[in-house]
Amino acid sequence: MNNGTDSKKNSHFARYRQIAMVLGKYRLEKVLGYVGMQNYRLVSWMFRGNPWRKMTYSEPESIRMALEELGTFFVKMGQILSTRTDLLPTSYTTELSKLQSALKPLPVDIMKKIISEELGRPTDEVFISFEDTIGVASIGQVYSCGQVNACTMTDGTEVVTKVQKPGVPEQIEEDTDILNHAAVSASKHWKGAEQYDLVGIAQEITDTIKKETDYIQEGHNAEYFAQFFKEYPTVHIPTIYWESSTARVLTMERIKGICVRDVEALDKAGFDRKELAKRSVSLWLKMIFEGEAFHADPHPGNLFVEPDGRLGLVDFGMVYMVDDEVRW
C-alpha cells in the first residue's frame, strides 16, 4: 500500500472505527476481513454485545440495519444494490429494498434553516405553509410514497421542496474514499471477488451518489424529460421553480396521485393495473430507444398515478445518458 493511501486511511480513522463498531454490533466482523480492515476487528468485537446471545436477525437483515445506522452514503449504496439482482441473491435485494422507506426524518426546523440559508430569506417568506410531516430520502428529505412534503408558495402554488440534509457532501466524500479503498482490498482478500469488478462497481456507486447531491443538475434533468414528453399528455413531469431552488434546495410542482405500489388504492380508484404496468414500462422503453437519456431510478416510489390517469414521474437525481451502443 502506498503512502498516499495510508495517509488517507489514517485521516479517516474515526470513521473506520465507527464502521467497525456498527459491523460488530450486527455481528458482521467477517466483512472487515473482506475489505482489508482486519486491524479494526478488536474494536468490532468490543461492541458486538453479549457473544453468547443468539443472533435473531438473518445476515441480509443485519446488513440492512448496519447500512441504515451508517447513514446517508451507505443507505444510498444499499438502495442502489437493492436493484442489482445480477450481483446479489434475492434475499439480500429484498431486504435492501426496505431502505427505500425506512429512514427517519430530521426535525423540520433544521430543514427550514437550510432553506433560509440557501435562498437568503426566511422560509416563511417563500412558503405560506410548510408541512411538519415529511418523507425521507437518503440524501435529502422530500416525500415518502403516498405522503408528500407539500409546501404552498406565497402565490398559492402547491409545490414539493427537496432539501439536502446537513453535512451530506462532506460525509459522502469521506465514505467514497473508504468504499473505494475497501473495494481494492476486497479484490485481494475475498475469493468471491474474482467474479466481479469490485473496483468498477464501487466507482459506479460513488459516481451515482455524487451526482445526486447536485440539485441544480437534477432540475435540469427534469426539464429535459418535460421537453421529451411534451407531446404525451398522459405523462406528467413536474415543473421546476428556479427562483426557489439551489444546489441544496429543489422546489418543484407537486404531483398528486397514487403511488404505483399502493395496489389497494389503485384498485379502489378503479385503475386497470395491467394497463398501468404496460404504460409504465413504455415510459422507459421510449427514453432508452428514442431519447438521449433515461431515468435510472425506476423504483415504485418515483411513479404516481394521478386522478385523471396521467403517470407522474419524479426524482431525477439518477439519470444516465444513452447512445446507439447502449441501445443495441
From the list 6, 132, 214, 297, the catalytic residue is 297
Angle between helix axes 13-25 and 168-189 (nearest 10 degrees) is 70
Please confirm, yes or no, whether 297 is among the known catalytic residues: yes
Separation between Cα atoms, residue 133 and residue 142, nearest integer Å = 10
| Residues 186/198, Cβ–Cβ less than 8 Å | yes
Q: What DSSP state is assigned to residue 106?
A: P
CA dist., res. 253 & res. 238, Å (int): 5
C-alpha cell at 99: 431502505
Is 173 in contact with 180 (CB distance < 8 Å)?
no
Tell me which long-range contacts 128-132 makes (C-beta under 8 A, separation of at least 24).
128/152, 128/153, 128/154, 128/156, 130/161, 132/108
165 closest CA partner among 101, 98, 107, 125: 107
Collapsing DSSP to helix, strand or coil, 7 comes out as helix
Q: Which residues contact 54 (CB under 8 A, 6 or more apart)?
A: none
Give the Cα-Cα-Cα angle 158, 320, 225 (nearest 5 degrees).
Answer: 35
Among 238, 183, 249, 175, which residue's Cα sits nearest to residue 209?
A: 175
Give the residue numbers marked as catalytic.
297
